[in-house]
Chains A and B, each alone.
Chain A
């Protein structure tokens, strides 16, 4: 910015900041804490709670620092007698109707009302009258409980719904003492972003229903990690008890991925860590699964793998929710020891040309982009992806770009999406007709005369400004993907160079699986390996007789009928994962329990290529072990022991062997991760630095 900075004095400290900065933010830059309730950096300021009052020289009354931008030469006092008295008074008012709930309130111990009362508030009460009462708690949505007595009317929750999620399900009702937060009559607060209001609420008015009574801050361990719900790679904090149980997930802002929010399926979807786990190794005996030692299970699994690898009848399906270290180890075992070319991370149909969707987009001429590019875009196009359901937190980013930054959105899909309400245009295609539709769009952009009813869209997309295309994985699963690719190339040409494309993949480490080559690859000796879908078909025909299945995701998303027939036909099955799928209708020869993300260190790569670390939060359940350790044991049992014995060593080995991860080191990942090389030739500067 070439604008001149504004200079002001806060508590005797000279502060220089950009014009337009709010006083409360300027103070924060100088390390001066001004207590706030209604103010939040991501919400428009309202000046409702009056906690942030400060004295400004020349002004007769105290002013709210959250609604006041800095002015040249301002002299501000945030900690003098007058301000302290005001804060004490505000807190006294806030406490007047506040119920004596601290011992039973989930917020106690991490409550800004408690903390500011201790720091700034009165220590004795003068209020001797009855407090107002409401029925409580009220379950206003599947995940949210409302306690109206505790509410201090900061309106953060309502503002979040209005400004960020745009799911306008909360409102303020009544006035004065009777003012309350509520949902519209008969309507639940079931937004998939509802959980964020639990974090925003400065008191225990909005609390999580699934996490009710999870514990107290002094009993909880906090560990940084990454959500495994989708491929955004939202940074989270895992809260655990006794080192053995995950009790809550909390956000951990990373502007590169989540922008500070979580979605409810991710936030509340940690049950799989605590319950239903495969806790000890099993081997098949007389048609039943019986507990075994690790040694026995490894021996049995190794025998199956070896036998069928030699015969060329082994297929390997790994979950794209496993860490990169696990995937790398499996891939290494497959290619160098078992010499099996049939390795994939999904059993759904994927067009061979679009196996790596990012490469597919790059070959169409798009520059790989990151999720953050969305908020700087002028025009955003989503193609074949329903962000609201498939990558919710990115949906918030798009909404932010459209509603706060003036970006224009074009949605291209089979039907109207939730995001269509924010789109300038929705372009619909018929199933099977995707390539033609995209080509028409490309033409409409390229030449106004060939618009074919898409004049307005074309004109919009011809405008100046950074453009971002969000391409969904469903495009790669179309049998017509090749032609769609041609159309995309035309579109890229029409949109102009520098148009970024973020490919939206399905699972939290789909990108990692692709980077590590966990997909059918051209093998010099055996030719091209089978894809996951081909493996299932081959199993039905008896050409694949054994499957090493890691995780349930590859089969879970596949054609259930195909899966069933394949399972029936298999001679042998080795399962490795954190829980034995209930729908698996055959007894595995060996079941090897592996750890979830919460129980080990490792990395995931998000959809656009950001490598992020997860940290071990709880002890492995039962006898489960990290997948790469299990693979090490298998390698040993097969007579080819691997050298890398720690997760760090596996990571270093992985990076050395993977073009996209060259230059990354374990210690440099920190808690926020780093961008990998999106493609070695044209990695955009923003993507490479992270």
Chain B
């Protein structure tokens, strides 16, 4: 997304909104349109309906706390156009002591959970939001953790000298203690969802035969610590309310206290089934911020690893999804192939999962000699194996019975909710970031993007199977292009010098010392590059402030948005179908909760 494109849209916006919009042009940035808070709804509607490109897909809204500046909070909205293949950032600014703005949830349903998260983490209120309550933190939490004046906390690391001094942190306030809100609680109307949560067992004996049960947070089929409140009428799901936050570990806040390379290790652990995908998205955003291009070989290898990660992630999805629906053998076969991929990851980085291998500047190290032969072996075997999984499932009557017509979502709904990845494409919307807004040279590879028609579990399944095939195709092409060369950019102010130099060169030693410990410095600005992982649209929004640490490290994760649409998909289905549907949207709680 180039600055010029933003500028063009801004000129049009100026005609419509006059002085209430302005253009923000941070260096290296894509630019964003700054809107007066009172106009946010009108502007959002304009952007969706009238702006050039008609931005129909809600990416995210996120907040940044500029403590000490007035207005204090930046709210950055990112919307995408699935037809014009571009995206747009626009911002508004709100201030202490009582930051608030209108909600845009009725224009973009996908904004709902993002606004709740901002309320939770920053304390910004959204007028008109039907259910403004905390989403990640427990209900009765005090304070807003991502604010800059909220302490990071954490338990001190134990060594032998301070071992006895470290005791478990005090627990958060018990339920029943006053919720700290700072304003009139009655202003936020209790919603039907809140009533649902509150009601609990009350509905059990109300004569209508309705029951509210917990599915999760401990459940083999929720694919993580997800709590789903299901209001049941017999076996039918009347309403489903996801309750998330059980895996919240404060990744975004922790990222603000670490330098960029250290923050990279946090990204592995978000979507833990696609660690290199997260590494890649983060590295691209940081490289965008600092204006660095990795060398050719690194880019090609990144594509190879990104696609291997996609295949490996889909294999886990397939195995567990099939397992949930009773097809146990598929699980073993999928994991067998996945292991081959993890072995390759171990060859190049030393670990199977949390590799932190793709880093700002390129790759941490070049691949080993045994990598390419292993990759070739895998590529040879894989299409057959994929065929085997299909033989087991694709036309299997039980499978068809369990997955066809189940968990449907329409294309319009999916787009409006910000659902991405195969969960979106299953409904017929051919939108894949690799094609729409290519990165790492994806526009130079030949591959198809499969779409479904019905938007049910079966179509999503078909999409992912085909995606694995296409990934295989991409890897073959990438492998054929691989030439010897460096895998790290030659920028000594960002990438440490080779170790052989630091015994001879004073300058190299100094740079090595500072970059490996305090970290390289990123200029003030923003970095944002959208990518497509196995789950959908993943992007990091990094705000740099001229220091070695990210001022804001926001992760817009596909599972978070996809899960928002789950209640829609579950309307009217059976409990057993809920299992199938949850599996089909392929969520990973690590990236939902962060």
Contact = CB atoms under 8 A, between A and B. Distances in A.
Interface string B502-540: 111111111101100110010000000000000000000
A474 to B, nearest CB: 44
Contacts of B514: 114-115, 118
B513 A243 contact: no
Given A118-B493, A619-B165, A102 B518 contact: no
B522 to A, nearest CB: 13
A542 B132 CA distance: 75
Nearest to B162: A242
Contact of A102 (B161, B497, B504, B513): B513
A103 to B, nearest CB: 7
A92 B507 CA distance: 8
Interface stretch (A13-21, A119-127, A346-354, A572-580): A119-127
A95 B513 contact: no
B298 to A, nearest CB: 20
A640 B502 CA distance: 68
- The dominant DSSP class at the B interface is loop
Nearest to A99: B506
Given A242-B161, A242-B162, A102 B509 contact: yes
Interface string A208-220: 0000000010100
A125 to B, nearest CB: 4
Given A100-B503, A124-B492, A243-B162, A114 B510 contact: yes
Contacts of A493: none
A123 B503 CA distance: 14
Contacts of B165: 243-244, 619
B159 interface: yes
B505 A124 contact: yes
Given A125-B505, A244-B165, A117 B156 contact: no
A122 B509 CA distance: 12
Contacts of B517: 109, 216, 218
Interface residues of B, number: 23
B513 A125 contact: no
Given A103-B513, A108-B513, A114-B514, A123 B493 contact: yes
A121 B514 CA distance: 13
A117 B162 contact: no
B511 A118 contact: yes
Given A109-B517, A216-B517, A242-B162, A95 B506 contact: yes
Contacts of A114: 510, 513-514
User: A102, A103, A243 — which one has the most chain B CB atoms within 10 A of its CB?
Assistant: A102
B486 to A, nearest CB: 15
Nearest to B157: A242
Contacts of B503: 100
Contacts of A166: none
Nearest to B505: A125
Contacts of A244: 161-162, 165
A93 to B, nearest CB: 11
A114 B513 CA distance: 9
B156 A243 contact: yes
B162 A95 contact: no
A222 interface: no
A98 interface: yes
A619 B162 CA distance: 10
A124 B498 CA distance: 11
B510 A102 contact: yes
A261 to B, nearest CB: 28
A115 B493 CA distance: 12
A245 B156 CA distance: 14
Nearest to B156: A243
Contacts of B505: 124-125, 127
Nearest to B515: A118
A125 B507 contact: yes
Contacts of B159: 242
A117 B510 contact: yes
Interface string B425-442: 000000000000000000
Nearest to A122: B507
Nearest to B158: A242
Nearest to A116: B510
A375 to B, nearest CB: 34
Chain A interface bracket (under 10, 10 to 19, 20 to 34, 35 or more): 20 to 34
A118 B162 contact: no
Contacts of A109: 513, 517-518
Given A103-B513, A218-B517, A117 B161 contact: no
Interface in B59-105: none
Given A118-B514, A123-B493, A218-B518, A100 B509 contact: yes
Given A109-B517, A242-B161, A244-B165, A124 B508 contact: yes
Given A102-B513, A244-B161, A124 B507 contact: yes
Contacts of A117: 507, 510-511
Interface in B158-173: 159, 161-162, 165
Given A125-B504, A218-B517, A118 B510 contact: yes
Contacts of B513: 102-103, 108-109, 114
Contacts of B507: 92, 95, 117, 121-125
A188 B35 CA distance: 68
Contacts of A123: 492-493, 497, 507-508, 511
A370 B507 CA distance: 48
A396 B165 CA distance: 42
A509 B23 CA distance: 57
A125 B506 contact: yes
A349 B135 CA distance: 68
Contacts of B504: 100, 125
Nearest to B503: A100
A494 B372 CA distance: 96
User: B156, B497, B504, B505 — which one has the most chain A CB atoms within 10 A of its CB?
Assistant: B505
Contacts of B521: 118-119
Contacts of A113: 510
A218 B493 CA distance: 20
Contacts of B508: 123-125
A244 to B, nearest CB: 5
Interface in A194-239: 216, 218
Contact of A242 (B156, B492, B493, B506): B156
Contacts of B161: 242, 244-245
Contacts of A243: 156, 162, 165
A624 to B, nearest CB: 13
A339 to B, nearest CB: 40
Nearest to B259: A218
Nearest to A114: B510
Interface in A109-155: 109, 113-115, 117-119, 121-125, 127
Contacts of B162: 242-244
User: A122, A125, A127, A216 — which one has the most chain B CB atoms within 10 A of its CB?
Assistant: A125
Contacts of B509: 100, 102-103
Interface in A83-111: 92, 95, 98, 100, 102-103, 108-109
A109 B508 CA distance: 15
Interface of B: 156, 159, 161-162, 165, 492-493, 497, 502-511, 513-514, 517-518, 521
28 contacts: A98-B506, A100-B503, A100-B506, A102-B510, A103-B509, A108-B513, A109-B513, A109-B517, A109-B518, A113-B510, A114-B514, A115-B514, A117-B507, A117-B511, A118-B510, A118-B511, A123-B508, A124-B492, A124-B505, A124-B507, A125-B507, A218-B517, A242-B161, A243-B162, A243-B165, A244-B161, A244-B162, A244-B165
Given A100-B509, A102-B510, A123-B508, 11 more contacts: A95-B506, A100-B506, A103-B509, A117-B511, A121-B510, A123-B507, A124-B492, A125-B508, A127-B505, A218-B518, A243-B156
Interface of A: 92, 95, 98, 100, 102-103, 108-109, 113-115, 117-119, 121-125, 127, 216, 218, 242-245, 619
Which 6 pairs show the lowest CB-CB distances between chains A and B? A123-B492, A125-B505, A95-B506, A242-B162, A102-B513, A125-B507
